[in-house]
């Protein structure tokens, strides 16, 4: 940390940069494509007409802001897991004026025979599977809190209009290449861990997770994908007092039904096309109060 930070409640430096993303107003657009992986972000940025701003923060957040077909967009790589999504959504909300549209483009595990490696899933909503650490605690502090090893939340809906546009755009770019299939209408599950809460068995740890996926599917039979950020994005959009609209899509990397994994050749074909489809969708979204003028780097 080089700068003097002001305000312990919502830390920023004297120039207004937020603490972890290290961006300020005018450096992030109202339309954002977010990924986990910096390499994926840079590859998708090849689709931009121009890049106005780029910054890689000390805490691992990459922001690339430019224009796509003349419309300002940001591509942001955030790393992995619900906490990183929380940093990204809150700090982005703090520096962007007006409504925000966010589409996450991730990779995932598949829980359905219909989606092998290379399929793309566009979920209509998502929920979280969280390890209940009190189940493993010798002295839990709250009554009955230790009963279940994993807590499976209710569903948070994606933005319906954006999700439909996204599914259409993804199908359109993949069809000429005979890639896909594209699955819609199901749910995504975020695990708080890549391992325990996603039902991966690790004999080196006490996890009691043999039934966690069966339990999740019993509560949410339409679950198609399993990853670590998209449901948190839907949850935070739901709590954003109507200012954030969110959708997501993910390429199936891990086939958890048949124990397969995507090839690097397939990723190389799929990723640029789906990235383009996400950008095509983002620039179609109708947003209220989009930033223009002196606070924007593109003004
Ligand atoms: C795990 O390998 C990571 O891959 C998935 C998961 O959600 C998790 O972040 O997404 P990304 O490919 O976007 O990182």
Are 58 and 1 within 8 A, CB to CB? Answer: yes
pTM for this model (two decimals):
0.96
- Would the CB of 80 count as within 6 Å of ligand 1? yes
- Residue 299's pLDDT band, with cuts at 50, 70 and 90, is very low
Give the model confidence (pLDDT) of 114-125 as tens digits.
Answer: 999 999 999 999
119-162 pLDDT tens trace? 999 999 999 999 999 999 999 898 888 899 999 999 999 999 99
Task: Tell me the domains of the chain and their CATH numbers.
Answer: 11-282 (3.40.50.1580)
The average pLDDT across 251-268 equals: 97
ipTM over 0.90: yes
Pocket test for ligand 1, best of 80, 84, 188 (most atoms within 8 A of CB): 80
Query: DSSP letter at 15?
Result: T
H-only helix segments in 140-211: 160-174
189 CA → ligand 1 middle, Å: 12
- Strand 187-191 and strand 223-227: pairing? parallel
89 Cα to the center of ligand 1, angstroms: 17
Q: Which long-range contacts (CB under 8 A, 24 or more apart) does 132-138 make?
A: 135/208, 136/206
Counting atoms of ligand 1 from 1, which one is nearest the CA of 190? 7
Residue 112 clears pLDDT 70, i.e. is over it = yes
Ligand 1, residues 128, 228, 234, 264: which to mutate, most atoms within 8 A of Cβ? 228
């Amino acid at each position: 940390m080089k700068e003097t930070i002001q305000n312990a409640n919502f830390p920023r430096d004297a120039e207004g940069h937020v603490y972890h993303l290290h961006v300020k107003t005018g450096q992030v657009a109202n339309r954002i494509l977010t990924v986990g992986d910096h390499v994926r972000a840079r590859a998708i940025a090849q689709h931009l007409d121009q890049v106005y701003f780029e910054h890689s923060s000390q805490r691992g957040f990459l922001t690339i802001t430019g224009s796509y077909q003349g419309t300002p967009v940001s591509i942001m790589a955030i790393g992995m897991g619900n906490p990183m999504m929380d940093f990204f959504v809150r700090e982005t909300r703090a520096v962007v004026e007006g409504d925000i549209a966010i589409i996450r483009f991730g990779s995932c595990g598949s829980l359905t025979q219909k989606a092998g490696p290379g399929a793309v899933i566009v979920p209509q909503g998502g929920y979280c599977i969280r390890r209940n650490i009190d189940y493993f605690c010798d002295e839990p502090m709250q009554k009955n809190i230790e009963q279940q090893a994993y807590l499976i939340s209710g569903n948070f809906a994606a933005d319906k209009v954006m999700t439909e546009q996204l599914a259409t755009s993804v199908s359109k770019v993949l069809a000429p290449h005979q890639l896909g299939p594209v699955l819609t209408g199901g749910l995504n599950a975020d695990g708080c861990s890549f391992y325990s809460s996603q039902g991966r068995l690790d004999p080196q740890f006490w996890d009691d997770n043999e039934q966690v996926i069966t339990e999740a599917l019993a509560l949410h039979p339409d679950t198609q994908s399993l990853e670590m950020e998209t449901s948190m994005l839907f949850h935070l959009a739901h709590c954003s007092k109507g200012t954030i609209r969110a959708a997501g899509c993910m390429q199936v990397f891990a086939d958890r039904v048949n124990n397969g994994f995507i090839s690097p050749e397939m990723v190389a074909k799929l990723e640029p096309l789906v990235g383009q489809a996400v950008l095509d969708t983002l620039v179609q979204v109708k947003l209220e109060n989009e930033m223009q003028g002196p606070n924007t780097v593109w003004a």
